[in-house]
Chain A
């Protein structure tokens, strides 16, 4: 890895570590059991490695479908081994689709309203 890439990687890892420590802190408060710094570092390391595995799977799934862009369908395939996780991801996909159709509807309305105003003029 080049020096530049290594630095970016370290920064990204630091961002992951920040989220990990926040999640651990919250859980520690809820259950009155603190997480050692070592555990938080180990969780970060595992999450980043898992990310490496996820990336390569996502890339392979997209390529299998002859795409170069990873889509939500590929994410669903990554989550397929755990029923609970794949159900959760499916519900998130539906949420995202709903948001999008709402956005489309509202811009659609705005457009027709603009057209009405144009007609009046």
Chain B
């Protein structure tokens, strides 16, 4: 994800129009989101492996989802 995409995405969720994101904060958030996605994919992939499946499917992702969002405060 580019820094630009991330800052636009975050800005679209801010409640107040005057809230801004510093350049460094945007770089860090891009990194955070990349880690989030990677973590989601790796965990789903491990779940598929544990179940001896050739393909990572939605049910594998569903199983790892609660812990994934729990860890980041969802």
On whether the two chains bind one another, the answer is yes
Please tell me which one of the listed residues A43, A48, A62, A78 contacts residue B19 in the complex, with CB atoms under 8 A apart. A62
- How many of chain A's residues have a CB under 8 angstroms from any CB in B? 54
A93 → chain B closest CB, angstroms: 7
Contact A43 B37 (CB under 8 A): yes
Collect the chain A residues with CB atoms within 8 Å of residue B71's CB. 81-82, 85
Contact with B along A53-86 (1 / 0, CB 8 A): 1111111001100001111101100110110010
Assuming the contacts A36-B55, A53-B74, asked whether A31 and B49 have C-beta atoms less than 8 A apart, the reply is: yes
Contact B72 A36 (CB under 8 A): no
B20 → chain A closest CB, angstroms: 4
The answer for the CA separation of A78 and B18 in the assembled complex, in Å, is: 20
The answer for the CA separation of A57 and B19 in the assembled complex, in Å, is: 12
Contact with B along A14-41 (1 / 0, CB 8 A): 0110011001100110010111101100
The answer for the CA separation of A56 and B18 in the assembled complex, in Å, is: 13
Given A42-B61, A82-B71, 14 extra CB contacts under 8 A: A12-B5, A15-B5, A19-B1, A47-B40, A51-B6, A54-B32, A55-B10, A55-B11, A55-B13, A62-B19, A82-B72, A92-B28, A92-B31, A93-B24
